[in-house]
Amino acid sequence: MTVRTSDIEKAAGVLRGGGLVALPTETVYGLGANAEDPAAVARIFQVKGRPPSHPLIVHISGAEYLDDWVQDVPATARLLAEHFWPGPLTLVLRRGRRVPLEATGGLETVAVRVPDHPVALALLSAFGGGVTAPSANRFGSVSPTTAAHVRAELGDAVDFVLDGGPCDIGVESTIVDATGEVPSILRPGGVTREALEAVLGCPISVPSTSLVRVPGQHPSHYAPRARVILVEPEKVASEAELAQEQGHQVGVLLPPACAGAAVKAHAVVALPGSMAAYARGLYGFLRELDQQGCDLIVASLPVEEGLGLAIANRLRRAAGPRPTV
Ligand code: AMP
Ligand code: MG
């Protein structure tokens, strides 16, 4: 999918004028603003309904500009940047003076990455600065992986939408705390734990998932409108049928192991066998089940290896307790 140079120039102009641009990246669509413009950054929080204490990711056009945005970069962080950028890896480092506290939720650290998408890179080059961009959706909901998702969810609240086609990876970046010599994963994502460990030559810690299993501790995020429940793979079909009999409009994410099973539910998505295809499709599947009027989605966790770790993390968060209105 090609984007006209005139559209890139227009989007860069919107950023310079303090506006918001939705931009495609290889992970999900971002809602971008000039990282150095506190008023524009504040608009991101307003449009998303995101609490101002939730820090944003600053997108830059190349690893060579890292030192413009951060200070005291440990050797390990440079190694990771050299190896994985452009790509779905976000490094949390000490905040440089160019980054306003509005973009970091008041923290003295800042999250930075170089996206691996020709349209995002063209925009960053044309603009010439850093672009803060969280996912282009309302706070807590499913991230957009197409320009149509962005338009449906944010509409006129965005000044310009760059359509770069569907996102290739489909889940957000892996966030690594790289402030010390021993990095750790804060959020699993598009770069796998295994790939990080291969480059680091040692194990890297990931956030404990047991915490997320306990109801009431982690509020939902990455969540569709429908409630999400997670069951063992072999129970997906029976739980779905039971809930449907109880009067729910049940949507099912059917694991490949159950392919071909006739499930009595309102809507069934047969999941692809490859983790890359599952990650790419995940948010679209959840949106589709919402659109079909499901009020309950029954799913199971994939094996937590490779991209399965990020998919399981998003499903757990989607199944977390909803804020009471
Ligand atoms: P989103 O852009 O919506 O995918 O969210 C950005 C993610 O980056 C959030 O989970 C933030 O908590 C995380 N993040 C951004 N900056 C920092 C930081 N300085 N320290 C830790 N996490 C961060
Ligand atoms: Mg988000």
Q: What is the pLDDT of residues 124-146, one digit of tens each?
A: 999 999 999 999 999 999 999 99
pLDDT at 13 over 90: yes
Torsion of CA 91, 96, 98, 99, to 10 degrees: 50
| Fold agreement (5-200, 227-318) | no
Show the beta-strand stretches assigned E in the chain.
Answer: 21-23, 30-34, 57-59, 70-71, 89-95, 109-113, 131-132, 160-161, 174-177, 184-187, 227-230, 250-254, 267-270, 296-299
Task: Share the mean pLDDT of the chain.
Answer: 95
* Cis amide leading into 272 (omega within 30): no
272 C-alpha to ligand 2 centroid (Å) = 24
209 — pLDDT class (breaks 50, 70, 90): low
Give the Å distance between the CA of 48 and the centre of ligand 2. 9
Q: Does the CB atom of residue 168 touch ligand 1 within 6 A?
A: no
Identify the band that residue 216 occupies on the pLDDT scale cut at 50, 70 and 90.
very low
Mutating to test ligand 1, I would choose from 167, 175, 218 the residue with most ligand atoms within 8 A of its C-beta, which is: 175
Q: Is 136 helix (H, G, I), strand (E, B) or coil?
A: coil
The fold of the 227-318 domain, in CATH, is Rossmann fold (3.40.50)
Q: How far is the CA of 280 from the centre of ligand 2 (A)?
A: 16
* Annotation: CATH topology of 5-200: DHBP synthase (3.90.870)
List pLDDT tens digits, range 167-194: 999 999 999 999 998 999 999 999 999 9
* High-pLDDT (> 90) share of the chain, %: 90
278 pLDDT more than 60: yes
Q: Is the pTM of this model over 0.85?
A: yes
The residues spanned by each domain of the chain are 5-200, 227-318
Amino acid found at 238: S
Kindly calculate the radius of gyration of the chain based on its CA atoms and give it in whole angstroms: 20
Give the ligand whose atoms come closest to the C-alpha of residue 94: 1
| pLDDT higher than 70, residue 214 | no
**pLDDT > 50? residue 233:** yes
Picking from 241, 177, 238, the residue whose alpha carbon sits closest to that of residue 207 is 177
Q: Is the CB of 93 within 6 Å of ligand 1?
A: no
